[in-house]
Amino acid sequence: MTGLEIRVAGEAQARESAKVLARAFQHDPVCTWIFPAESARARRLRRFFHAELHHSALRHGAVEFARADGAIAGVAVWFPPGAWPSATGLSSLPAYLRAVGRHFGTASQFASAAARAHPHDQPHWYLAFIGVDPARQGQGIGTALMRSRLERRANEAQPAYLENSNPANAALYERFGFQITGALDLPEAAPCVPTMWRPA
């Protein structure tokens, strides 16, 4: 791998970024719970991430992508203090419904649990999604994406928060100072999703 660059994403990168996130989350425990049929999961995840980027993250958040060998290899979606949940409006609803389809109920259960657990008593950065293309995993791209945003906000003295949907990522988050504070209140059939907090 040569020439790894971390850049701020714009609408021009939305579609490719959505594809990378979809591949990264294809086998994520929460995504397999929401979309159990593997044959349809990739399509639904592409639609979901494109809707999330287009209607919410690129308008209200801070999206960064890692470019390696001329292609997007990883994406991180952050929301600054006070920006989540973003007011996407009714115009975005069809895109989200098209993404989740008949899995709306399960997706809503997760979204509601995440909203209930989200801390509201202290301004913080929120890492909503971070994903690396499976073909590029293990090359330090996730680390570079984490370091980029956390270094940008180092002088802000503000904490950060995330939900860890994949146990394989725990070591990465802990390496950057995140600590487990609890877990989402999900149905018994759902995977365990710890909440994590990084002090200022």
Rg (CA), the chain: 16
Whole-number average pLDDT of the chain: 93
The two three-digit tokens of residue 42, written as one number: 């990739």
Domains of the chain: 5-198 (3.40.630.30)
Half-sphere exposure of 137 (CA within 13 A, CB side): 14
Express each pLDDT in 176-190 by its tens digit.
999 999 999 999 999
Q: Beta strand 160-163 with 125-132: parallel, antiparallel or unpaired?
A: parallel
Tell me what pLDDT residue 149 has.
87
Tell me what pLDDT residue 53 has.
95
The two three-digit tokens of residue 112, written as one number: 């509601």
Express each pLDDT in 113-150 by its tens digit.
999 999 999 999 999 999 999 999 999 999 999 999 88
Q: Compute the distance between CA of residue 192 and CA of residue 167 in angstroms, rounded to an integer.
A: 9
Q: Model's pTM, two decimal places?
A: 0.93
pLDDT band at 87 (very low <50, low <70, confident <90, very high): low
Tell me what pLDDT residue 20 has.
99
Burial (CB < 10 A; 0-12, 13-18, 19+), residue 197, is middle
